Chain A
Amino acid sequence: NAGVTQTPKFRVLKTGQSMTLLCAQDMNHEYMYWYRQDPGMGLRLIHYSVGEGTTAKGEVPDGYNVSRLKKQNFLLGLESAAPSQTSVYFCASRTSGADTQYFGPGTRLTVL
């Protein structure tokens, strides 16, 4: 039981490049979340999903897109990366029957 995994762990991009971050969970959780964590700020919600095929905007959605084609996977896309998107990205999931979120190990992204 791997829990929540994130791919990749580290990535360096140039401004304007695109990439996709993958979050996978093997706990059959309905809810999945993407956060970013920046120095001096709390975790901020980018997008979330309440089930397969559904997504919704969070607090800071601009510049990101998401997809939840399979229940176990939640993808975060950056179509044209900007230096302001340099951050650590965390994915989390939870079951509909409980409030506790389980976090992935994070992806450190640097945009030059």
Chain B
Amino acid sequence: KNEVEQSPQNLTAQEGEFITINCSYSVGISALHWLQQHPGGGIVSLFMLSSGKKKHGRLIATINIQEKHSSLHITASHPRDSAVYICAARRSETSGSRLTFGEGTQLTVNP
């Protein structure tokens, strides 16, 4: 069992739909990251959170420390949101702030 698991693996939506991607982790963490990998391969960081909720534009990330679960929501989805979304956990005890990554969720938003 992976320490960081995402669901679903693949998600297809119609433009305008509300999207949720889930991330569960089985280890103690000090922070959780959400990243976006563009179709061309580039990876950018979207959020880093250790509690509560963060919002940036149409993206919202939440985390429940007790349940070891985080969600990434996209409101009013658009085809340009099509990408792979990756969650990554920073474990509490590791040196160098090493991250453990989920496998990613491939999101396709159709016009």
A interface vs B, CB < 8 Å?
A: 31, 33, 40-45, 48, 50, 56, 58, 88, 90, 92, 94, 99-103, 105-106
Contact = CB atoms under 8 A, between A and B. Distances in A.
Interface residues of B, number: 23
Interface of B: 2, 4, 31, 33, 41-45, 48, 86, 88, 90, 95-104
B103 A40 contact: yes
Main secondary structure of the interface of B (DSSP, over half): strand
A88 B84 CA distance: 15
Contact of A88 (B41, B44, B45): B41
A94 B48 contact: no
Nearest to A102: B45
Contact of A43 (B42, B86, B95, B97): B86
Nearest to B100: A42
B2 to A, nearest CB: 7
Contacts of B44: 103
A44 B102 CA distance: 10
B97 A31 contact: yes
**Residue among A48, A58, A99 facing the most chain B CB atoms (10 A cut-off):** A99
Contact of A105 (B42, B45, B48, B103): B42
A56 B31 CA distance: 21
Contacts of A33: 96, 98
